[in-house]
Amino acid sequence: MAEHADTAVDDLNETVTDTTGLDADVPEDSATAGVGVAGSGALRARDDDSDADGDDADVAPVQRRPSHVRQALVVGLAVVIALAALAGWLGFRAYQSHSAAQQRSLFLQVGRQGAINLTTIDWQHADTDVERILNSATGTFFDDFSKRKQPFVDVVKQAQSQSVGTVTAAGLESETANDAQVLVAVSVKTSIANAPEQNPRAWRMRVSLHKLGDDVKVANVEFVP
């Protein structure tokens, strides 16, 4: 009986020892496995972070390039607009200058022609010459000359006079948008039937002009020393 009891005790001790060894080994293996899993997770997390950082490093320059392109386009567009505005302004100034030169030329031309009309009268077609003067006149000058035209024509025809005016100099004295004064120097040669030949006479006139639409007409005439 004692032998059987000792044997049973020994068997029980071995069983406990075996069981204890199993219990000790399992936690150790489990902890190691847990550490291994955790380490693998950490490595994967670092790899993911590295991949993410790498992706961000690759994407960032791509995101900056459109910004530079937009800035270049904005600058280029601003330059184009500035050049267009400058060209338009220069074109407008050139147009203004050209228009002003044309108007000055027109004033001078009409002033010169008005002086020639007043000093070129032929008794043989005096009526036509007077009508030409009236057609180029306006305002006070037109009114005054219209009242005196018939006595003037009668005197010219009775004297059988013929006068020819030649402009020797002309200049623009003053100018506004619609009015101008032109100084004109005229040499006038006059001949009268049955009278000695006369020397040309020099006259100076201040011809006042007024613009009516596209036409410029004589508004007044003054003889100046």
98 confidence band (pLDDT: 50, 70, 90): confident
Domain membership of residue 191 (yes or no) is yes
Check whether 207 has a pLDDT greater than 60. Answer: yes
Domain membership of residue 89 (yes or no) is no
Domain membership of residue 170 (yes or no) is yes
Domain membership of residue 58 (yes or no) is no
- Note if the pTM is more than 0.85: no
Domain membership of residue 217 (yes or no) is yes
Domain membership of residue 2 (yes or no) is no
List the single range of 56-65, 66-75, 152-161 with lowest mean pLDDT: 56-65
Domain membership of residue 86 (yes or no) is no
pLDDT score, position 64: 52
What is the Cα–Cα distance from 67 to 25, expressed in whole angstroms?
63
Check whether 21 has a pLDDT greater than 70. Answer: no
Say what the alpha-carbon torsion angle 126, 127, 132, 135 is, to the nearest 10 degrees: 150
What is the Cα–Cα distance from 168 to 204, expressed in whole angstroms?
10
Looking at residue 136, which CATH number applies to its domain? Answer: 3.10.450.540
Under 8 Å between Cβ of 205 and 98: no
Domain membership of residue 210 (yes or no) is yes
Structural domain harbouring 194: 101-223
Structurally, the chain folds into a number of domains equal to 1
Check whether 29 has a pLDDT greater than 60. Answer: no
